[in-house]
Amino acid sequence: MTRLGSVAANSWGVSHTAVDLVRPIVTPRPVSLPATPQTLTFDLARSAIIVIDMQNDFCHPDGWLASIGVDIAPARAPIEPLAALLPALRRNGVPVIWLNWGNRSDRLNLPPSLLHVYDPAGQGNGLGAALGGEDRHVLEHGSWNAAIVDELSPEPSDIHVAKYRMSGFWDTPLESILRNLRCDTLLFAGVNSDQCVLSTLTDAACIGYDCIMLDDCAATTSPGFCADATRYNVRQCYGAVATGADLITALT
Active site amino acids? 53, 163, 196
Distance between CA atoms of residues 76 and 44, nearest Å: 27
Count how many Cα atoms sit within 13 Å of the Cα of residue 210 in the half-sphere of its side chain: 12
Distance between CA atoms of residues 235 and 224, nearest Å: 17
Point out which residues pair with 86 in neighbouring strands. none
Question: Which residues, in sequence order, are CB contacts of 40 under 8 Å at separation 6+?
Answer: 32, 33, 34, 212, 240, 242
Question: Which residues, in sequence order, are CB contacts of 248 under 8 Å at separation 6+?
Answer: 84, 85, 88
Distance between CA atoms of residues 137 and 156, nearest Å: 25
> Is 147:56 a contact under the CB 8 Å cutoff?
yes
Burial class of residue 118, CB neighbours in 10 A (0-12, 13-18, 19+): middle
> Is 1:18 a contact under the CB 8 Å cutoff?
yes
What strands, in cross-sheet order, belong to the sheet with 96-101? 159-163, 96-101, 47-52, 185-191, 210-219, 240-242
User: What phi, psi does 160 have (nearest 5°)?
Assistant: -120, 130
